[in-house]
Chain A
């Protein structure tokens, strides 16, 4: 049981490039989410999903897209990277409302 996995661990992009951050969980959790963490800002919710085929926006969704075609996978797409998207990105999942969320190890993204 691997829990929540994320790839890549590190990534450097140039402004304007696109990429997909991968997230997968093997715990059959309904809920999955993406956060970004910046110094002094805490964790902020980007997008979330309450089940396959259902996604919604969080606090800071601009510049990001998500899809949820399976229960296991929840990729985050950066459409046209900007330096303001330099951050640490965490994916998380939980099995029900109000329950603890399990986090992946994070992806450290730098946009130059």
Chain B
């Protein structure tokens, strides 16, 4: 089983739609969880950290289910500027190292 698995996509959605990305991780000792965003031919940038209680940042909501080893990202009211690849990222206990999923590409269509 791969360490971090994501929906491969691509997701093509109209502006204003709600879209959800899912991610599963294999290491039950994983401690920290993130969603990164990567624009075409650019470096990954942190979108948001994911906390056990779930967290929201504007139109973005992240959820963590430790029992199921599952992370989700919900984007509401999609904008054209949300078009990017979304990377699910986890770290192990006491570790600096990030393990990346392969990413899910989102295209928001006018």
Contact = CB atoms under 8 A, between A and B. Distances in A.
Interface in A71-90: 90
Contact of B102 (A41, A96, A106): A41
Interface residues of A, number: 24
Interface residues on B, range: 20 to 34
A106 B53 CA distance: 34
A106 B31 contact: no
A100 B100 CA distance: 12
Contacts, number: 47
A21 interface: no
A98 B42 CA distance: 23
A38 B103 CA distance: 12
Contacts of B46: 100
A21 B91 CA distance: 26
Interface of B: 31-32, 34, 42-46, 49, 87, 91, 94-98, 100-103
